[in-house]
Amino acid sequence: MERPTYEQALRALLRTQKVQDVRDGLLRGSFIRAVNFHATIIRDKGKLERQLEGYARHFSNVTVADLDQFLDTGVWHKEKPGLIPAIFEGFRDHFDVMAPLLEQYGLTGWFHIPSFYPDVPVAEQAVYGEAHQLHAHPDEYSDGRYAMNWDEIRAIAKKHVLCCHSGSHFQIQLDTSDEDMEREIVQAKHHLEQMAEAPCHVYCWLYGEEFSYNPLAAEYIRKAGFRYVVGNLKVERVMR
């Protein structure tokens, strides 16, 4: 049997129902876009404001309840497509710069926080950050505190979505031990919820892997009680 050409395979793919559903959703604005941010440093405040102002004109904010409804019905219920500003690492400038801008433009941020980072003593945060790929800007705060503290996180959680980005910005791999997964998934969620005094429904592991990347880790994600896993290419509902 002759193998199809690239063009033939592409045409066949475009005729599948799933691809047609995605196309139709994009055409009618029934979709959610995610945009990632990491350090939101003070000197970039003007750039960030212009970016968020543009997003606010063309997109609607998204809460966990909005995402629930979208996945339950398959229909986006707001006039404009949804936008998830995903803010990673739990940096102090997220509270000082990003959160006020999001609130100014009526957007809900999804703050992905390594749960043990806020507990690191201020004097050790620079060294800890380098060891755990948490790349804050060393010249931004003269007192050496680069992570949000728990008071700031509790304030964030009242208006935005709290997400767990492992416990220590830890990369879960296929050979990661059960002990490490228990700590970086289950204990990380419980610690974040306890200290933030707010629920956490969303998990995103380092490098944005899919839910099915590590089947054993997926079981720990279920055990912890997460409802969603955020990857680089999609948001997945955790199936029970």
Same-domain status, 79 and 56: yes
Same-domain status, 16 and 40: no
Tens place of pLDDT per residue across the chain (240 aa) = 566 775 665 566 556 655 455 555 554 567 999 999 999 999 999 999 999 999 999 999 999 999 999 999 989 999 999 999 999 999 999 999 999 999 999 999 999 999 999 999 999 999 999 999 999 998 899 999 999 999 999 999 999 999 999 999 999 988 999 999 999 999 999 999 999 999 999 999 888 777 667 889 889 999 999 999 998 888 889 987
Is this structure's pTM higher than 0.85? yes
Q: How far is CA 160 from CA 89, 153, 183, in A?
A: 15, 10, 25
Beta bridge partners of 33: 83
Beta bridge partners of 36: 86
Amino acid identity, position 214: N
Same-domain status, 194 and 140: yes
Position 29 scores a pLDDT of 61
Same-domain status, 16 and 58: no
- In angstroms, the CA 193 to CA 187 distance is 10
Number of domains in the chain: 2
Beta bridge partners of 236: 229
Same-domain status, 35 and 10: no
Both structure tokens of 128? 């800890």
Same-domain status, 40 and 11: no
Domain span at residue 199 reads 31-237
Question: If you search the block for the tokens 């139709």, which residue do you land on?
Answer: 24
- Residue 103 sits at the vertex; the CA angle it makes with 102 and 105, to the nearest 5 degrees, is 70
Same-domain status, 13 and 119: no
Beta bridge partners of 161: 110
Position 239 scores a pLDDT of 81
Same-domain status, 140 and 226: yes
- In angstroms, the CA 114 to CA 38 distance is 13
SS3 for the chain is: CCCCCHHHHHHHHHCCHHHHHHHHHHHCCCCEEEEEECCCCHHHHHHHHHHHHHHHHHCEECCHHHHHHHHHHCCCCCCCCEEEEEEECCEHHHHHHHHHHHHHCCCCCEEEECCCHHHCCHHHHHHHHHHCCCCCCCCCCCCCCCECCHHHHHHHHHHCEEEECCCCCCCCCCCCCHHHHHHHHHHHHHHHHHHHCCCCCEECCCCCCCCCCCHHHHHHHHHHCCCEEECCCCEEECCC
Same-domain status, 73 and 133: yes
Residue pair 119/93 in contact (Cβ under 8 Å)? The answer is: no
Same-domain status, 10 and 112: no
Same-domain status, 89 and 16: no
Position 240 scores a pLDDT of 72
Position 19 scores a pLDDT of 47
Residue pair 119/154 in contact (Cβ under 8 Å)? The answer is: no
For 228, list phi and psi in degrees, rounded to 5.
-140, 150
